[in-house]
Amino acid sequence: MLVANYTSGSVAVFPIHDEGSLGDASASVQHTGHGTNPERQEGPHAHSINLGSDNRFAMVDDLGLDELLVYKFDSAKGSLTPSDPPFAKLDPGSGPRHFALHPSGKFAYVVSEMKGTVTVFSNNAKTGALQPLQTISTLPKDFTGSIEDAEIEVHPSGKFVYASNRGDANSIAVYAIDPNKGTLTTVEIAPTQGKTPRSFEIDPTGQLLFAANEKSNNLVVFRIDQKTGHLTPTGQVLDVSEPVCVKFLKIE
């Protein structure tokens, strides 16, 4: 199990025993440094950690450093060692939060909480090297409210990217992916019919998107247009107290 610790700005790996319990940490790495925002980036804040498709590399969004750090991961030992290069930089004051990998493994997408942007990277699956290709806004044109981006997902088809806006926007930005370049074009910015969409999840078939509106205590279901990526409310709204994460689990 790989863990990102926000407050301390560190990451760790724990072995999982056969019965499901966790052993002592097999790896722990403390990030150091700070960003340009003295209030939010006074030190490192590791916000998420994700494995690549072949489990050879672990990518860490550090909100406090404006860096996407890359570690070589040894699944047999449970170890993390800095890759070469060890990180990719984002724009100062971005506050990278979450990471999503394209199904092809060629591209990666990072949503930045503090600037309301998605940054596109090329991904070298052999070396783990990430190169920035594009940064695009998640917000409506001329938006002036508070910015708090949250979640990002790539559609299972590899055709679309979705990113949620908390703050005053309360919406999900929808993008079409250029299949050759991996870059994004905005399709729409769709209201989530609630407040503070801290999380959302696309179902495994790619037909539905479930938006978790934390501050309005509801889960709103949208249908995904398979040709355009456009979101249409289904009319299904589930009452859930302060939802902050949605995941699908395969039942054997």
CATH value of 148-252 in 3.40.50.150, 1.10.357.10, 3.40.50.1110, 2.120.10.30: 2.120.10.30
Does the global pTM surpass 0.75? Answer: yes
**Straight-line distance from the first to the last Cα atom of the chain, in angstroms, rounded to the nearest whole number:** 21
203 in helix, strand or coil? Answer: coil
Q: What is the pLDDT along the chain (252 residues), one digit of tens a residue?
A: 999 999 999 999 999 999 999 999 999 999 999 999 999 999 999 999 999 989 999 999 999 999 999 999 999 999 999 999 999 999 999 999 999 999 999 999 999 999 999 999 999 999 999 999 999 999 999 899 999 999 999 999 999 999 999 999 999 999 999 999 999 999 999 999 999 999 999 999 999 999 999 999 999 999 999 999 999 999 999 999 999 999 999 888
Q: How far apart are CA 186 and CA 162, in angstroms?
A: 10
CA angle 6, 73, 69 (to 5 degrees): 45
Domain ranges of the chain: 1-137, 148-252
Q: How far apart are CA 102 and CA 113, in angstroms?
A: 20
The rounded distance, in Å, linking the Cα atoms of 31 and 234 is: 43
pLDDT score for 74: 97
Please report, as a single letter, which amino acid is at residue 65. Answer: L
DSSP-derived letter for residue 106 is: S
Please report the pLDDT score of residue 252 as a whole number. Answer: 83
Q: Which CATH architecture has domain 1-137?
A: 7 Propeller (2.130)
Burial of 24 (0-12, 13-18, 19+ CB in 10 A): exposed
Phi, psi of 142 (to 5 degrees): 65, 20
